[in-house]
A = this chain, B = another copy of it.
Amino acid sequence: MNYAIKRKKQVSAKFVPSNLGMTLENDIESTNLFYLNNQIAVIYKKPTPVQVVNVNYPARNKAKITEAYYKTPSTTDFNGIYKGRYIDFDAKETSSKTSFPLKNIHEHQVEHLRNVDKHGGIAFLIIHWKVYNKYFFLPLNVILKYWDNKESGRKSIPYDEFLKNSYEIKLNYNPRIDYLKIIDTYYLK
C-alpha cells in the first residue's frame, strides 16, 4: 500500500489557534524558531537519517530518490547553543498514566547524553504526558538513576518522580514549550 506523506507545514513563529493540534516535535521546532528569530538561542532539529539505496536522475530534473530506508539516529534529535552552552536533548511522548517506560529511550541516546554531560553540555529529555497534557524537563541525572539500575530494578520512571525531581514546562502561546526557562533557573543561575 502507498501512503502519501504530507509535506511538513512550515513552522510558523506566530501562534495561530490551528497550531494547537501540532505534535510535540512541531511544538519544539516552533519554540526553536522563536528562540532563533529573537536571537535567544540557536537550536535545531537534526534531519531524520535515511539510507539511500537508489537515485534516479531524470533529465533536467533534480535527483529523485526511489529507494531508501529510515535509519536509527546515532544521537538525539535536537542540539545547539544557548548563552555559550552546548544544549542537547530528545523529545518523547507517553500515553501511560503511571510511568514512563525506559524502552522509549534508546541505549545510544542515553550514551550520547552521558557523553554530552561529561564534556560540559546540558543534556536532558522533554517528556509529554499525553493523558495529563503535561510537559516535563527530565534532567540526565534522573534518567540515569533509573537507566543504570534497570537490569535489577524497575524498567520505567514513575510519574511521581516527574512531579518531584523533574521540572514542569507550562505550555504557552509563544514560545510553545519554553525549556530554556528551566535551564536559566536550574542550570545557569
Q: Give the contact-size bracket for chain A.
A: 35 or more
Whole-angstrom distance between the alpha carbons of A116 and B79 in the complex?
12
Q: Determine if A12 is an interface residue (Cβ-Cβ < 8 Å).
A: no
A85 near B82 (CB under 8 angstroms)? Answer: no
Known: A47-B46, A69-B62. A56 touches B115 (CB 8 A): no
Residues in chain B near residue A88, CB distance under 8 A: 81
Expressed in whole angstroms, the minimum distance between the Cβ of A91 and any Cβ of chain B is 17
Question: Does A42 touch B at the CB level, under 8 Å?
Answer: yes
Partner of A68, one of B50, B80, B82: B50
State whether the Cβ of A36 lies closer than 8 Å to any Cβ in chain B: yes
Q: How many copies of the polypeptide does the oligomer hold?
A: 2
A121 close to chain B: CB less than 8 A: yes
- Asked if A3 contacts B86 (CB within 8 A), the reply is no
Return the chain B residue nearest A121 by Cβ.
B81
Minimum CB–CB distance for A33 against chain B, Å? 11
Per-residue contact bits, chain A 30-57, to B (CB 8 Å; 1 contact, 0 not): 0000001001011010111111111111
Chain A interfacial positions (CB closer than 8 Å to B): 1-5, 7, 36, 39, 41-42, 44, 46-57, 62-71, 73-75, 79-86, 88, 112, 115-116, 118-121
